[in-house]
């Protein structure tokens, strides 16, 4: 069980960082504004994965 939780935390953290990179790459050149940025599916995926990954680490 411990190994499964450790693996899940690692995978969620990694996926969150990749999603965050995709979110920022889509804004390259000019930031679209806060409202448009909050509509980004990549940003929400990153926040969700990093949040759940953090909870798994705890």
Residue 1 has pLDDT above 90, yes or no: no
pLDDT of residue 30: 82
pLDDT of residue 29: 83
pLDDT of residue 18: 97
Band of residue 5 on the pLDDT scale cut at 50, 70, 90: very high
Over the stretch 14-57, which tens digit does the pLDDT of each residue have? Answer: 999 999 999 999 888 888 888 888 888 999 999 999 999 999 99
**In the structure encoding, which two tokens stand for residue 8, read together?**
């899940």
pTM greater than the 0.75 cutoff: yes
14 vs 51: CA distance, rounded Å: 12
34 vs 10: CA distance, rounded Å: 29
Angle between helices 2-25 and 41-57 (to 10 degrees): 150
17 vs 40: CA distance, rounded Å: 15
CB contact at 8 A, 31 and 37: yes
């Amino acid at each position: 069980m411990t190994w499964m939780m450790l693996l899940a935390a690692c995978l969620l953290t990694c996926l969150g960082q990749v999603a965050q990179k995709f979110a920022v790459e889509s804004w390259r050149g000019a930031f679209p504004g806060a409202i448009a940025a909050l509509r980004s599916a990549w940003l929400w995926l990153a926040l969700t994965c990093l949040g759940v990954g953090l909870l798994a680490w705890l």
